[in-house]
Structure formats: C-alpha cells, structure tokens
C-alpha cells in the first residue's frame, strides 16, 4: 500500500502541469480524481479559464469509487487491526 500511495502522489500533477503529460495518456491520467482538482486549482490560481472537463471526470470517478471503497472496507473490516 505505501508503494501504491507513493506512485499515486507522482501521478498527481502537483509539481508539473497536465500539459507535460503526453496527449495519448491524458484520458488515463485524468482517471486520478486529484489530477482534475489540482489542474483546475492551478488554472484558477494563475488566472486562466478553469476547464470543467477534468473536474467532471474527477467527480464521476469519485462517485464510482466511493461505494466500491465502502464495500471493500466492509468486507475487510473484521480483519483490519484497530491500532491508534
């Protein structure tokens, strides 16, 4: 899991803009919900027109992922250690 989280961090365009990603990978890249959010925030901060396409994709992916994540959590809840 830590490796996947680290890869996800590098897959989110925090340090580099979406324009740095090759065009053939844009659709796959935007499946990361944070990519659309960060890119839209960057556009707003720089005074550019905000593109609502990536935000719509981020919302759709999040809406699909939330119930799936909930079902997965309920499936493994009994085996997850309760350690704080």
pLDDT in tens, 22-54: 999 888 888 888 888 998 998 899 999 988 998
In this prediction, residue 14 carries a pLDDT of: 79
In this prediction, residue 56 carries a pLDDT of: 93
Tell me whether residue 66 is in a domain: yes
Tell me whether residue 42 is in a domain: yes
With a pLDDT cut of 90, the percent of the chain lying above it is 32
Tell me whether residue 3 is in a domain: no
- What is the extent of the structural domain holding 27? 23-78
Tell me whether residue 14 is in a domain: no
Tell me whether residue 2 is in a domain: no
Q: What is the pTM of this model?
A: 0.72
Tell me whether residue 43 is in a domain: yes
Tell me whether residue 12 is in a domain: no
pLDDT at residue 84 greater than cutoff 70 = no
Number of domains in the chain: 1
At 83, the pLDDT band (50, 70, 90 cuts) reads low
Give the residue from 66, 4, 16 showing the smallest Cα distance to 35. Answer: 16
Are 45 and 21 spatial neighbours (Cβ–Cβ below 8 Å)? no
- Mark 8-41 as b/e (b = at least 16 C-beta within 10 Å): eeeebbeeeebeebeeeeeeebbebbbbbbbbbe
């Amino acid at each position: 899991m830590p490796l996947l989280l680290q890869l996800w961090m590098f897959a989110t365009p925090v340090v580099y803009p979406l324009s740095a990603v090759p065009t053939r990978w844009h659709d796959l890249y935007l499946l990361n919900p944070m990519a659309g959010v960060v890119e839209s925030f960057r556009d707003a901060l720089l005074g550019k027109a905000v593109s609502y396409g990536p935000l719509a994709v981020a919302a759709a992916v999040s809406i699909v992922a939330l119930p799936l994540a909930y079902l997965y959590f309920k499936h493994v809840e009994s085996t997850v250690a309760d350690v704080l």
